[in-house]
Amino acid sequence: MAKSPLESALKEYGCETPIKQFQDALEEVFNRDYRARFTVDSLMQHPSDAVEYCQKINKYQSDFAAVPENLILRCLMARRKNPV
């Protein structure tokens, strides 16, 4: 099966985790730390909180460390639009 553009982009930054597992981690951190204050959409309107969220993702697992903020947020938005 062909890789999704997001999964290919993750690999460019050294993330070997499959996209579904990466998005599961994004959702886990969001639900644990941000769900009480934000929806996914509203997090995007609070830049300092979005940056903090991305920093938590970068520390979550070693191969997430180099994934840039814009890609983390794109993956989070894609998950929101197409839940598994």
Residue 79 has what pLDDT?
Answer: 83
Apex CA 5: angle with CA 84 and CA 23, to 5°? Answer: 35
- Give pLDDT < 70 ranges for the chain: 1-2, 83-84
Residue 3 has what pLDDT?
Answer: 74
% residues pLDDT > 90 (the chain): 87
Supply 82's token pair: 């197409």
Cα dihedral: 4, 73, 68, 23 (round 10): -50
Q: What domain range includes position 37? A: 5-81
Total domains present in the chain: 1
